[in-house]
Structure 1
Amino acid sequence: MRISIELVPRRIEVLQNELQFIKANFPTINTVNIPDLLRLDIRSWEGSAFSKPYYEYCIPHIRAIDFGMDQEIAIADYLNQNQITEILIVTGDYPQDINREIFPTTSIDLIKKIKSEQPHIRVYAAIDPYRSSIREEFEYIQRKRDAGADGFFTQPFFDIRLMEVYQELLEGVDIFWGVSPVISQKSRNYWETKNNAIFPKGFEPTLEWNVKFAKEALDFSRKTNSNLYFMPIKIDLKLYLEGIFN
């Protein structure tokens, strides 16, 4: 089983402190995944390269719309030079800067291109249980698998019952289930309006509820021989992880 932590590369010194803290205190965590946020100076592959001395497994998020299909993959040499052998391909949100160049490349397009040109790289794709119906999402997952996806990272779940539905559909598929704490009503509103997330009836926007759910998700991952990643947004990292693992 692999357990990953998603760390936002705001600044090198902040990322370094987080890596050192997690490595020293939570040995169960053995993987790091790094999102690619255009508002930051550090790209995901740069954050992953910086994380390599701390963790063997570092997975940058790669935005498909940043790469043209008729061009060489500009970051391929960088990935190989820094021994980054796993990536997560997402479609990517449109940039606020209208002058920034983007391409009509889909995640399926880029998965095919990466697997064709860099077959040694393990490619993960995204599962979004809130994007559409379960049937439509399952069909989209199958298209990504047909394109060459080796595994998947999900959007955060907040209900074990929904995880069970997807686990039954995708039994045997390499999956990192997502868990993210939501500790305010404002945050819950964001997830519901922005991402169409579904919260169970007994949900409470408290540290205690989120720690309890994270433990349940961890047990679920162990029982189903799958993986898990934590996306700790706007929460005390120490309190959250200590609550889960101690």
Structure 2
Amino acid sequence: MKRISIELVPRDEAALRESLAVVKQHAAHADVINIPDLLRLPMRSYEGAAVAKEYFKAAMPHIRAMDIDLSAELPMKDFLRAQEIREVLVIQGDPPQDMTKKVYPTTSTDVIRKFREEMPEVKVYAGIDQYRGSMSDELYRVKRKLQAGAAGFFTQPFFDLRYLSVYEDMLTGLDVYWGVAPVMSERSQSYWERKNKVVFPQEFAPTLDWSIEFTRRVMAFAQERDESIYIMPIKANLEAYLAGIFPAV
């Protein structure tokens, strides 16, 4: 497999360190830790990435495009350089629930281009949301992000290997991290269906066993093609999930 990326939510420093220790125990061969940026949390993604680099060689903070003022320099520039963080994932971001938080009409392509201009040493990745519209529309967004300077892409989680295969065929030749995440309850399944318009396959079950088995199938898919995988253990028992994915030899 090309690379394995694991996403960890930085709820606070202590919780993040606890999760990093679990990943180190069960997936020490992971290549990069992804850190999302959630406004409801006190720790910013790049701060969490600095902590993750104490445990793993590479860490990748998520940068929310709507938080970036194009008329000013990148606010995290000095921090990223000081911590030697050389990869970022630029996403559009969701509007803040607290309307006192200032946001801008900045797009992800704007921020990708801004990183290329201000921090050319940083490898910039972009997001793919295979559920927001048609495949042709998403492919157009991919091409725009490539033109802006994106070096690769991270997808939303897949739950159907057939659908992933179609996207893999469409994106042949690009550096793509194929997303996968456990769905552990009917409530979580309903969330994905309502908010992200996911259509789950008939074989799907919102259980740890199904999630582990499907993740291993996606890993085998990526292994065969020398591609990368993006593991997002959302609301799962991290230790049980990783132990199932990476059983002890």
TM-score after normalising by structure 1: 0.98
1:191 maps to what in 2?
A: 192
2:223 maps to what in 1?
A: 222
1:245, 1:23 → 2: CA distance? 12
Mapping 1:132-171, distance limit 5 Å: 132-171=133-172
Displaced runs of 4+ in structure 1, greater than 6 A?
A: none
2:105 maps to what in 1?
A: 104
1:50, 1:206 → 2: CA distance? 31
Moved more, 161-170 or 78-87: 161-170
Query: Which ranges of structure 1 fall in alignment gaps of 5 or more residues?
Result: none
1:30, 1:70 → 2: CA distance? 34
1:77 positional shift: 0.8
Mapping 1:1-246, distance limit 5 Å: 1-246=2-247
1:7 positional shift: 0.4
**Secondary structure class of the residue paired with 2:201:** coil
How many residues are paired up? Answer: 246
**Secondary structure class of the residue paired with 1:139:** helix
**Secondary structure class of the residue paired with 1:186:** helix
2:217, 2:72 → 1: CA distance? 44
Cα deviation code 1:59-79 (max 9, x no counterpart): 000000101111111111110
**Secondary structure class of the residue paired with 1:222:** helix
1:56, 1:214 → 2: CA distance? 24
CA RMSD of aligned residues (A): 0.9
Query: Which ranges of structure 2 fall in alignment gaps of 5 or more residues?
Result: none
TM-score after normalising by structure 2: 0.97
1:27 positional shift: 2.2
Q: Which has the higher contact order (CA 8 A, sep 6+)?
A: 2
Give the counterpart letter for 1:67 in structure 2.
I
Cα deviation code 1:185-238 (max 9, x no counterpart): 110000010111121111111111111100000001111211111111121111
Give the counterpart letter for 2:121 in structure 1.
H
1:201, 1:180 → 2: CA distance? 17
1:21 positional shift: 2.1
Question: Are 1:130 and 1:198, in contact at CA under 8 Å, matched by a contact in 2?
Answer: no
Question: Are 1:179 and 1:230, in contact at CA under 8 Å, matched by a contact in 2?
Answer: yes
